[in-house]
Amino acid sequence: MKGRGVWIAVTSSLLTLGAVFVVLNLASGEKKIEQRLERLYATNDPQFRRAMGNLLGPPILEGNKTEVLVNGDMIFAAMLSAIKQARRTITFETYIYWSETIGREFADALIERARAGVKVHVLLDWVGSSRMDARYLEEMKAAGIEVERYHEPHWSNLQRMNNRTHRKVLVVDGVVGFTGGVGIADKWRGNAQDKEHWRDTHFRVEGPVVAQMQAVFMDNWIKATGRVMHGEDYFPALKVRGDEAAQMFSSSPTGGSESMHLMYLMAITAATRSIHLSNSYFVPDELVVKALAAAARRGVQVRVITPGPDIDTDVVRRASRARWGELLEAGVVIAEYQPTMFHCKVLVIDGLMVSVGSTNFDNRSFRINDEANLNVVSEAFARRQIQIFDEDFRQSKPMTLQAWRGRPWQEKALERVASLFGNQL
């Protein structure tokens, strides 16, 4: 009996410990925004820019140039070209890095530069790079590349296992930066020409804001390694490269988890004329739903593109659809992209302010993952993003309120169940 009692006690303790770890991983540890923002200014009001800079952290800097890269062939060519031209440093943080052909190309390019004397630092999320061939890591390290896996499981960080770095930042020589939605996997190759090749957008940046992009990389590099890299090789003096105002900011559960959520709420609340939202995982919480619906009711044209039937996580699509009712009733136009998986993450407000980066429109990105977005204030840049949005919209199927209400009861039931897991999607 005594042995049985000890076994029960040990089992109970293990179950309790396991439950504690689950709770710690599901909890963000920070207070959430609990009420709707009051609409105090429009996007063209100088106060909007001041609020964005002061509340999100880094200031909005003038003198930048941002180039949009549409789909894998254009995106990977630009990134690999920049890597191959590196002379001093390469810092690269990404979520998805798999083997396959593009993984091999990036590994070879990084290794070649490291052997040429360039200081190369690579930060990969442990979950997102789980399908990466260990041989690549060994070859990189043998060439002198510093490679780290973010939140690789260890007894000392089990409470942070649910916190992933979803950031996608590449900075070359401290002067050229890249960010957007693309991961290093073959599904991003091509030009979204079929269901095996995804639709996505990435961005190449020059100008003073690149220093902020470098700082975003350094944020997680320091967390992962404890090492600080600074000096001219990483933070050179940056010249004016264009006429765009921009800021690069980040969010993380360990500091400012509500920053991304706050940015979206501020931008939507300030909108006066139009909102164009492209997002691969659109599972808005109640505050965002109400902000979008309020914008539509005050006359703002609100259009949203989400993935259609071709999506890598069907539960996300179901959870998303469960939340469309109030939006459709308010006049929000929601359309599902049809040709292939839609992985873009772009928000355009009033044809003036554009936010691009790694952030999905869901609770995981807003409160659990580490994310980073580039905000650009430029009518010309916004105009180009709206043109791209319109091209995608023509290949999308809008959902009407009548069709949404008339979904089969089985679909509604599955969507309601999926929606219960919205906090983790």
173 is known as an active-site residue: yes
At residue 153, the pLDDT reads 73
| pLDDT over 70 (residue 422) | no
Give me the catalytic one of 261, 276, 343, 362.
Answer: 343
For the question of whether the overall pTM of this predicted structure is more than 0.75, the answer is: yes
108 is known as an active-site residue: no
Q: What is the mean pLDDT of residues 390-396?
A: 98
Give me the catalytic one of 65, 121, 151, 166.
Answer: 166
Helix (H, G, I), strand (E, B) or coil at 29: coil
Give me the catalytic one of 65, 151, 173, 370.
Answer: 173
Per-residue model confidence as pLDDT tens digits over 308-342: 999 999 999 999 999 999 999 999 999 999 999 99
65 is known as an active-site residue: no
> What percent of the chain shows pLDDT beyond 90?
78
Q: What is the mean pLDDT of residues 196-206?
A: 98
| pLDDT over 50 (residue 10) | no
Q: What angle do CA 313, 318, 319 make, to 5 degrees?
A: 95
| pLDDT over 90 (residue 282) | yes
Give me the catalytic one of 197, 261, 276, 345.
Answer: 345
Structure tokens at 388: 């791209």
The dihedral over CA atoms of 115, 121, 123, 124, expressed in degrees to the nearest 10, equals -10
At residue 31, the pLDDT reads 65
Give me the catalytic one of 65, 168, 197, 202.
Answer: 168
pLDDT band at residue 75 using 50, 70 and 90 as cut-offs: very high
Nearest to 278 by CA among 406, 192, 386: 386
Contacts of 205 (CB under 8 A, 6+ apart): 64, 65, 66, 67, 176, 177, 178, 179, 213, 246, 374
> What percent of the chain shows pLDDT beyond 70?
88
Instruction: Characterise 349 by phi-psi region: left (phi > 0), alpha (psi -120 to 50), beta (else).
Output: beta
Helix (H, G, I), strand (E, B) or coil at 357: strand
Cα separation of 52 and 268, whole Å?
12
166 is known as an active-site residue: yes
| pLDDT over 80 (residue 44) | yes
Contacts of 71 (CB under 8 A, 6+ apart): 188, 190, 191, 192, 197, 199, 200, 201
Give me the catalytic one of 125, 219, 285, 350.
Answer: 350
276 is known as an active-site residue: no
At residue 209, the pLDDT reads 98
At residue 6, the pLDDT reads 33
Lowest mean pLDDT among 36-45, 53-62, 159-168, 209-218: 159-168
- Domains of the chain in sequence order: 28-424 (3.30.870.10)
Q: What is the mean pLDDT of residues 108-128?
A: 97
Q: What is the mean pLDDT of residues 199-222?
A: 97
Nearest to 419 by CA among 285, 279, 288: 285
151 is known as an active-site residue: no
User: Which residue did the predictor score with more confidence, 20 or 68?
Assistant: 68
User: What's the chain's average pLDDT?
Assistant: 90
